[in-house]
Amino acid sequence: MFSKSNSYRLPLAKLPVPLRLFNAFRVLSIVLIGAMLAGCGVNNIPTYEENARAKWSEVLSQYQRRADLIPNLIETVKGFAAQEKDVLTSVVEARSKATSTQLPSDVLTNPDAFKKFQESQAGLSGALSRLLVVVERYPDLKSNQNFLALQSQLEGTENRIAVARRDYIEAVRLYNTELKTIPGRWWRSWMYPENNPMQTFTIEDEQLANPEVKF
């Protein structure tokens, strides 16, 4: 015995020709609409957003790497130039401020929070620059093997910070441009109204955040 629901089912081959054509047309329409939407950039906004956030994570990673190098740098310099107390203290305080800055979840779209982050990192960059100038007064420190190793690591980290910031700036440019131009602004209005432009680094901070590490 067939159930009542099954008794009315017909194999696809036994469906009337018009009904089979309609079903085929419906499937084809769905496929074409999906392809058209993909081709029109409906996925660009979330794709660019995820890319920008990934680049931002790399920026944070490289800033953290720099912060992790500073304690050993301070101890090494202190062993040869303990009298430079003010400069050493300024670096320690700037590092503390930079690493203790709480970043809200919306930091990338929050101008005030992003500015605060920039300022704290720029402050640490400035303090490091002053410390590196002081190092020039101590030839023995400049030839110390531990210091030379830290110098190399710090220089490499500053370069990685510059690259990470550059990549983030470019990713944000693509994302923000997509939000402002057609058809991206249409897709944002219809499907992604919660997406806002992301913040990026200012020219002033760009200049401050990458001190030259030369000895």
Share of residues in the chain with pLDDT > 70 (%):
75
Question: Which amino acid, 29?
Answer: S
Task: Return d(Cα 165, Cα 121) in angstroms, integer.
Answer: 12
Mean pLDDT of the chain: 84
**Mapping DSSP to helix (H, G, I), strand (E, B) and coil, where does residue 103 land?**
coil
Estimate to the nearest angstrom the gap between the alpha carbon of 100 and the chain centroid.
19
Is the link from the previous residue into 111 a cis peptide, with omega within 30 of 0? Answer: no
Give the pLDDT confidence score for residue 101 in this predicted structure.
85
Burial (0-12, 13-18, 19+ Cβ within 10 Å), 6: exposed
Give the pLDDT confidence score for residue 213 in this predicted structure.
47
Confidence of residue 27 (pLDDT cuts 50, 70, 90): low
pTM of the model: 0.77
Q: Is the pLDDT of residue 88 over 90?
A: yes
Structure-block tokens of residue 187: 């897709």
**CA angle (74, 115, 67) in 5-degree steps:** 20
Mean pLDDT of 169-191: 94
Q: What is the largest CA-CA distance in the chain?
A: 99
Q: CA dihedral in degrees (128, 132, 137, 141; nearest 10)?
A: 100
Give the pLDDT confidence score for residue 18 in this predicted structure.
62
Q: Which of 90-104, 169-183, 195-209 has the lowest mean pLDDT?
A: 195-209
Give the pLDDT confidence score for residue 7 in this predicted structure.
47
Structure-block tokens of residue 39: 């081709």
Number of residues that this document lists for the chain? 215
Count Cβ atoms below 10 Å from residue 63 Cβ, excluding itself.
23
Give the pLDDT confidence score for residue 202 in this predicted structure.
83
Structure-block tokens of residue 183: 């058809």
Give the pLDDT confidence score for residue 45 in this predicted structure.
95
Mean pLDDT of 193-208: 78
Confidence of residue 25 (pLDDT cuts 50, 70, 90): low
Task: Return d(Cα 33, Cα 195) in angstroms, integer.
Answer: 24
